[in-house]
Amino acid sequence: MRSLFLFPFALLVSVAAQKLEEINVNKVYHYQPEQVHLAFGANNNEISVTWSTRDATNQSVVVYSENYADTKRLINITGDSRHFVDGGPKAHSQYIHKVTLRDLKPQTRYEYSCGSDFGWSARFTFTTPPAGSDWQPRLAIYGDMGNENAQSLARLQQDTQQGMYDAIIHVGDFAYDMDTQNARVGDEFMRQVETIAAYVPYMVCPGNHEEKYNFSNYKTRFNMPGEGDSLWYSFDLGPIHFVSFSTEVYYFLDYGLKLLTKQFEWLENDLREANKPENRAQRPWVITYGHRPMYCSDNKEYDCNDKLETFIRQGLPLGKLFGLEDLFYKYFVDVEIFAHEHFYTRLWPIYDFKVYNGSAEAPYTNAKAPIQIITGSAGCKEEREPFSETLPEWNAFHSNDYGYTRMKAYNRTHLYFEQVSDDKNGEIVDSFWIIKDKHVAYSEM
């Protein structure tokens, strides 16, 4: 009788122990760092490390060194965390941690991990850029990559692990969309890109697919330099001054006109500073990137008018306020990079619908207007977009292949671009040089 009486109690204890074990396992998972990604800080010897945990931890720490195995030389840097609650009906909650590593040595490989006493990430690596402006930055550039049909991701992962890039620029539209399924899709996407973004700075700008809940997923998950909530910022890399901005402030005016006016003022101040003779001498190349293009090669594109242009070219329809084409022309921006349309297009140098090639033989040598590139074919669930049956005269080259753009600044006079086709197993389907013997105002050329 006694053994029969004890059997249910033993079973109850066993079930309780199993449930307690499940709770502890879940708790460990909730403290585990994930979605690790890097960005440049205020300058090239600063790197920001960002990651997520499900629950709050007692600290946010990055441990790093040139040799992680040499425990005596490990450096611990503490940062902070932010409680992020998605705007969806389930109010999905997580903690976004940020730590900035400062005073890093130039051209140095570091090993690091991030986390807290409750859990640590794997060990990752990154290499800081060389000092100064006399070196050759290499970048991968693309927009419109989702976590479904992320056609280019595997090739980008391989490129990154082979050390091909100093930075990656994602020109808006992530995950499709980060807020979907109460931000679970955003989490999945950030886990996917950890395989590249934890190894090189992953520089971004917002697209239309980030709009939900006032861009909260975008603004919280990414930590770009400056004080613009990652909506606008700039950074220098070798002989290039990069300028990132939001095209979405022209379209989602229900979040306030102030964002548009503030960004435009910041853009002009930043470009004016970049064009001071001493700055342009050091970094003669000025490259901008924002999500929606000024000119369209797809007449079905919902935000293009009959002239195949968008609001950002001349500004808001009423009064033509805050137009960017005149601003970028005034400060002789060299290259403007866009995405949004799910294909690749290279334009001839263009201003006010007119082509301004350097010459018939060498259109990109001493071009008399900015050169625009649309690179939105990295791959997403919305798939490809068709070109117009009759292409506009400013369209120099186009491709519907899934893929991404590579760029290398050889020196202060030569830039090289190439388009990688993932459909064609990494074949280069387009390549061109931009050459400028001198960087002067377009009106003086």
Strand partners, 138: 408
pLDDT of residue 14: 57
* Structure tokens belonging to residue 280: 């342009």
Residue 302 pLDDT class (50, 70, 90 cuts): low
Alpha-carbon radius of gyration of the chain: 24
Sequence-separated (6 or more) residues with CB below 8 Å from residue 197: 36, 37, 38, 168, 190
Q: Are the beta carbons of 18 and 66 closer than 8 angstroms?
A: no
Place of tokens 């980060």: 178
DSSP alpha helix (H) spans, 139-231: 153-161, 184-197, 212-221
| Helix 184-197, helix 153-161: angle, nearest 10 | 30
pLDDT digits (tens, 9 = 90+) for 380-427: 999 998 877 778 899 999 999 999 999 999 999 999 999 999 999 999
Residue 20 pLDDT class (50, 70, 90 cuts): very low
Task: Give the Cα separation of 421 and 378 in Å (integer).
Answer: 10
Place of tokens 């064609």: 424
Q: Are the beta carbons of 33 and 79 closer than 8 angstroms?
A: no
Residue 300 pLDDT class (50, 70, 90 cuts): low
Task: Give the Cα separation of 376 and 382 in Å (integer).
Answer: 11
Residue 38 pLDDT class (50, 70, 90 cuts): very high
Strand partners, 420: 404, 428
Q: Are the beta carbons of 252 and 376 closer than 8 angstroms?
A: no
Task: Give the Cα separation of 287 and 237 in Å (integer).
Answer: 11
pLDDT of residue 62: 98
Task: Give the Cα separation of 338 and 107 in Å (integer).
Answer: 30
The separation between CA 362 and the C-alpha centre of its own chain, rounded to angstroms, equals 31
Q: Distance from first CA to last CA of the chain, Å, rounded?
A: 103
Q: Are the beta carbons of 413 and 326 closer than 8 angstroms?
A: no
Type and span of the H or E element at 252: none
pLDDT of residue 29: 64
Angle 382-90-48 from CA coordinates, rounded to 5° = 70
Q: pTM value?
A: 0.93
Torsion of CA 162, 168, 173, 174, to 10 degrees: 50
- The conformation of residue 254, written as its DSSP 8-state character, comes to G
pLDDT digits (tens, 9 = 90+) for 135-164: 999 999 999 999 999 999 999 999 999 999
* Structure tokens belonging to residue 360: 């018939």
The dihedral through the CA atoms of 131, 133, 138, 139 has a sign that is positive
DSSP alpha helix (H) spans, 60-183: 153-161
Cis status of the peptide bond prior to 177, with omega within 30 of 0: yes
